[in-house]
Structure formats: structure tokens, C-alpha cells
Amino acid sequence: MKSQDRRAAIAAYKEQKTPAGIFAIHCQTDGSVWVGSAPNLDTIENRHWFTLRQGTHPNAALQRVWAAHGEESFSLEILEQLEDDVSDIARPRVLKERLAHWRATLSAQGV
């Protein structure tokens, strides 16, 4: 790869917007739902599944249900993705508001 091509590829990577939004973790076996927000939805499932498999998830209730029912009982659903035009300054506030809305709508626990 030429130096100029490499610089262009790096610049394009840095300009990418990460998809922020709200997600839900569902346990199909007992119907439990946990809702959370993430600054990057592309990596959120891997992050939660890794800590759950290791037994080190910060949400003790979610970890207990995972241990009781196993990985095959769980799924992650993207509920809402923020628009790209939301500024970086407003993003945390908007995520917090949308998280509260989805937790109330689904009667869900927080992740």
C-alpha cells in the first residue's frame, strides 16, 4: 500500500461515525429484559457476551439468569439507533432520555 493510500485509509477510518443507541438483552426462557445504552452498538453484544461467559458481568441479576438458562436463551436487540446529526455534546443526554423511555416502555431492568 502506498503511503498516500494508507494516509487516506486512516483518515477515512477516523471520520467514521460509531452508531450509538439503545439495546435490549432478552432471555426467552423466563421473559426477562434488560435495557442499556451504548456509544457504539457495533461492539455491544460481544462486550456483554464476553463478560457473561466469564462470569464477571457487572449486573448480578443478569449474570444469575445467564447462569441458570445458558447462552442459547439470550438475544440482543437494537431498539433504537441515534441519528448521525446528533452532536457529540448532546449524545449523552439524548441516550439517557431514550434509555429512560425504553426502560419504562418495556418494564425492563437496566444493564
- 70-106 pLDDT, tens digit per residue, is 999 999 999 999 998 888 899 999 999 999 999 999 9
* pTM recorded for the entire structure: 0.86
pLDDT tens for 23-51 read 999 999 999 999 999 999 999 999 999 99
Domains of the chain: 20-110 (3.40.1440.10)
- Give pLDDT, residue 1: 65
In degrees and rounded to multiples of 5, residue 87 shows phi and psi of: -70, 160
Close Cβ partners of 100 (under 8 Å, ≥ 6 residues apart)? none
CA of residue 50 relative to chain centroid, distance: 13
For residue 46, what is its C-alpha cell?
Answer: 460481544
Task: Tell me 74's DSSP state.
Answer: E
